[in-house]
Amino acid sequence: MQLFIDSADVAELRAVAASGLIDGVTTNPSLIAKSGRKMKDAIAEICSIIPGPVSAEAVATDMEGMLAEGRYLARIASNVVVKLPLTENGLRACRTLSDEGIRVNVTLCFSAVQALLAAKAGAYFISPFIGRLDDKGVDGMDLIRDIRRIYDNYGFATNILSASIRSVEHVRQAALAGSDCATLPPKTFAAMYKHELTDSGVEAFLKDWASTGQSIL
Give per-residue pLDDT as tens, 82-135.
999 999 999 999 999 999 999 999 999 999 999 999 999 999 999 999 999 999
DSSP 3-50: EEEE---HHHHHHHHTTT---EEE--HHHHHHHTS-HHHHHHHHHHH-
Task: Give the rounded distance of the alpha carbon of 189 from its chain centre.
Answer: 12
Give per-residue pLDDT as tens, 23-79.
999 999 999 999 999 999 999 999 999 999 999 999 999 999 999 999 999 999 999
46 torsion bin: left (phi>0), alpha (psi -120 to 50), beta (else): alpha
pLDDT score recorded for residue 211 = 95
Do the strands 54-57 and 80-85 form a parallel or antiparallel pair, or are they unpaired? Answer: parallel
CA 87 – CA 155 distance, rounded (Å)? 23
pLDDT score recorded for residue 91 = 98
pLDDT score recorded for residue 127 = 98
**Is the CA virtual torsion 71, 72, 77, 81 positive or negative?**
negative
Global pTM exceeds 0.85: yes
pLDDT score recorded for residue 216 = 94
Q: 2-212: CATH homologous superfamily?
A: Aldolase class I (3.20.20.70)
Domain assignments of the chain as residue spans, ordered by start: 2-212
| Residue of 38, 40, 83, 194 with catalytic role | 83
Q: Is 34 a catalytic residue?
A: no
